[in-house]
Chains A and B, each alone.
Chain A
Amino acid sequence: GQQVMQIPQYQHVQEGEDFTTYCNSSTTLSNIQWYKQRPGGHPVFLIQLVKSGEVKKQKRLTFQFGEAKKNSSLHITATQTTDVGTYFCAGRQGAQKLVFGQGTRLTINP
Chain B
Amino acid sequence: ETGVTQSPTHLIKTRGQQVTLRCSSQSGHNTVSWYQQALGQGPQFIFQYYREEENGRGNFPPRFSGLQFPNYSSELNVNALELDDSALYLCASSTGVTGTIYFGEGSWLTVV
Which residues of A are at the interface with B, using a C-beta cutoff of 8 A? Answer: 6, 30-31, 33, 35, 41-45, 48, 88, 90, 92, 94-103
Contacts and interface: CB of A to CB of B under 8 A. Distances in A.
Give the size category of B's interface with A: 20 to 34
B105 interface: yes
A43 B90 contact: yes
Interface string B50-69: 00000010100000000000
Contact of A42 (B42, B44, B98, B104): B104
A89 to B, nearest CB: 9
Contact of A44 (B58, B98, B103): B103
Given A43-B90, A43-B103, A97 B41 contact: no
A27 B40 CA distance: 24
B108 to A, nearest CB: 9
